[in-house]
Each structure stands twice: as C-alpha cells, then as structure tokens.
A = this chain, B = another copy of it.
C-alpha cells in the first residue's frame, strides 16, 4: 500500500497538538498522556522531530518540546520528511546508483521524479494551522473543497 508509517501518523498527531498551543512547552510524558499514545514511542518521535529541526527541546527538569516555527510554516510534508526522510514513492528517486538495477534501461525513470514531485507538492500544501483550524461546515477543508468542486480547474493547473 501507499502508506505512511505509523510514526508519521503519530508524528502529525503530536505536532498538531503542539500547534494548538504554540510557544508553549510540553514534556514527553505530558504529551503522551494528552494524546493518548504510548510514552516510549512518543519519546522516540519527539526526538526525531527535534533532530529534523521542527521542534526545539529543553533538557533537564522542566524540560520539554516546543514548535520551532509557527504552525503556518510547518507542512505535513515537513513532518513526514523529518520522520521518514525524503518523500519518494519509488526507490529510483534518490539518485544513488545501484538502488535500481534497471536504472540504465528504464525509460520511466525520469517520469517517476515527476510523480513524486506531484505527491510532495500535494503534502506541502497542507500546513499545521490548516490541520488545527475548526472544521468548516460540512466537514470539508478548503483544500478538499477545491479538489472536489473544481477538479477540472485543478487538473488543468497541474498539467
């Protein structure tokens, strides 16, 4: 399946929670309790997000994590990238020679780059602030409404 890992899933949940109270600091135990996820995993994910530059951490008693940037400046793509590395649907993206045995003959190789680009673009469209803002009537996000209301327009803009 085209699935993001549970780590990313949890990561987005965590970061969204932080985004709801920007500037404020949360300890891993607090966060785990509030989001109702197992502490060890929450710890692991917070560390990764910090390493990725999305969170700022403070050690020691009274330590904790804070968003490194305002919610509007963090996208779903950022979170996923921090937790899983570059977003790529296929292996033949990272230009590491040898990662694909067919690289010399594969006529589709250049195309994959674009497919990945499209997905990456789609995910970087969605910011944290978008994720936490109250649901508009009908439970539809703006981005969703656009995609559904004017598929032709979207498609043509993507072509």
Which residues does A use to contact B, with CB under 8 Å?
1-5, 8-9, 12-13, 16, 36-37, 76, 80, 84-85, 87-91, 102, 105-108, 110-111, 113-115, 117-119, 121-123, 125-126, 131, 135, 139-144, 146-148, 150-151, 153-155, 157-159
How distant is the Cα of A119 from the Cα of B147 in the complex, in angstroms? 11
Cβ contact within 8 Å between A4 and B2: yes
Q: Which of B13, B105, B106, B142 contacts A106 (CB 8 A)?
A: B13
5 further contact pairs, Cβ within 8 A, besides A3-B89, A110-B139: A1-B88, A2-B4, A9-B91, A122-B122, A125-B155
Cβ contact within 8 Å between B36 and A102: yes
